[in-house]
Amino acid sequence: MKFLFGATLLSLHFICAYGANATTASLLSDALTSLRLTALATVIDVGGSDPRFAAFLEEVGAGNKTFFVPTKLTLSQGLSFITNIPNAVRTLQYQIAHGQIFPDTAPVSPSHVVAPSVLNDNSTVFLKGGDTQLIVATKEDDGQLHILNQGTDLVVTQSQTVMSLGLVINLVDTFLVPPGNLSAALAANNLTQFQTALQNAGLLSSLSSQRGVTIFAPSDAAFASASGVLSSLSAGQLTTVLQNHVLNSTVYSPSFGTSQISSTGQTLHMSNTSVTAGKSTAKLSQTDIGLQNGVLHIVDTVILDQNSGPSAQSGTSGGSANGAVLSMRLPLLASVFGAIVAVFECW
């Protein structure tokens, strides 16, 4: 009897949630149509009835979000896009950021807005504790909001608020693409010497698979300047130097101004312009290059610190980019209680 009562309440909850998602899909489709974005509106209309779209629609319906909407999606592309629902959902989830991002009030370069998306699919995101992948943007001298880490210059061309959904729609040319792996980021930013050094030290593979990592990558010019010192180091000393460019947590530039512990246990002091370990300081030349498992920052100097500290961490230093993640394992009673509340709210 208790089981049937609980199952009934949960069924009512799911029916209620489906109704809410249908309303969200309708409101979103109407908003996109009013902006003459009929291709994406069609995607929402067609996909909105598929249960696999539920997670996406629930996030939009929760309010206080920003949706980066591609304007160059054609109807034929949209219809092709929707034939692969799981991929479509993953793509759309990376277009949604927590919080409302308005181009007029965005941070001006070199400062960045770093916003968690709602994408945490474990086939494409390899961060800690279920953290979602992040979106990085900044307002450049032209007064426009630019989305970073996209390979091309992606600019917000128009912004509109959908009051009924608590949603800011920012128009861009194409879909935002989630960050790739470490090797791809190193190659795209011409960090060949650092990549070679990591490969030779046997660190590239482990850093590519580690969940939640921050890497301060010296430029090729930095390696050229330090070549004399680096060539005199033993293999063990060089490995320590490289590991002192790594944090076992994901730290984006808005969190600079604090000290963190490197993967060898050394204290790294970070400011908005530089990072210091021991007596070696490097200036930050580019920040917030996203990785599928963390973030990369480019520095102008090799941090020639050969020391390791007593507090060496193995994946536990610092904090996550998305803040603390509360993990709760709810018993059935709590789930049923939540369903009761949701059902009465729906009614």
**pLDDT digit string, tens, across residues 252-270:** 999 999 899 999 999 999 9
Mean pLDDT of 66-92: 96
- Measured CA distances, 234 to 37, 178, 230, 239 (Å): 59, 38, 9, 9
Domain boundaries, given as residue ranges, for the chain: 2-178+331-346, 182-299
Give the model's pLDDT for residue 308. Answer: 77
Choose the CATH number for 2-178+331-346 among 1.20.1050.10, 3.40.1190.20, 2.30.180.10, 3.40.1110.10. 2.30.180.10
Per the structure block, which two tokens stand in for 228? Answer: 């004399």
Give the model's pLDDT for residue 342. Answer: 44
Provide the pLDDT confidence category of residue 18 given band limits of 50, 70 and 90.
low
Provide the pLDDT confidence category of residue 13 given band limits of 50, 70 and 90.
very low
* Of 178, 125, 126, the residue nearest 151 (C-alpha): 178
- Could you give the percent of the chain with pLDDT greater than 90? 79
Give the model's pLDDT for residue 6. Answer: 46
Give the model's pLDDT for residue 20. Answer: 85
Provide the pLDDT confidence category of residue 310 given band limits of 50, 70 and 90.
low
Residue 192 has pLDDT above 50, yes or no: yes
CA distance 44 to 50: 10
Query: Under a CB-based contact definition with an 8 Å cutoff, are residues 265 and 246 in contact?
Result: no
Provide the pLDDT confidence category of residue 130 given band limits of 50, 70 and 90.
confident
Mean pLDDT of 85-97: 97
Give the model's pLDDT for residue 1. Answer: 52
Query: Under a CB-based contact definition with an 8 Å cutoff, are residues 218 and 282 in contact?
Result: yes
Please give the class, per CATH, of domain 182-299: mainly beta
Provide the pLDDT confidence category of residue 307 given band limits of 50, 70 and 90.
confident
* ∠ CA 225-227-232, rounded to 5°: 140
Equal fold, 2-178+331-346 vs 182-299: yes
Residue 138 has pLDDT above 60, yes or no: yes
| Mean of pLDDT over the chain | 87
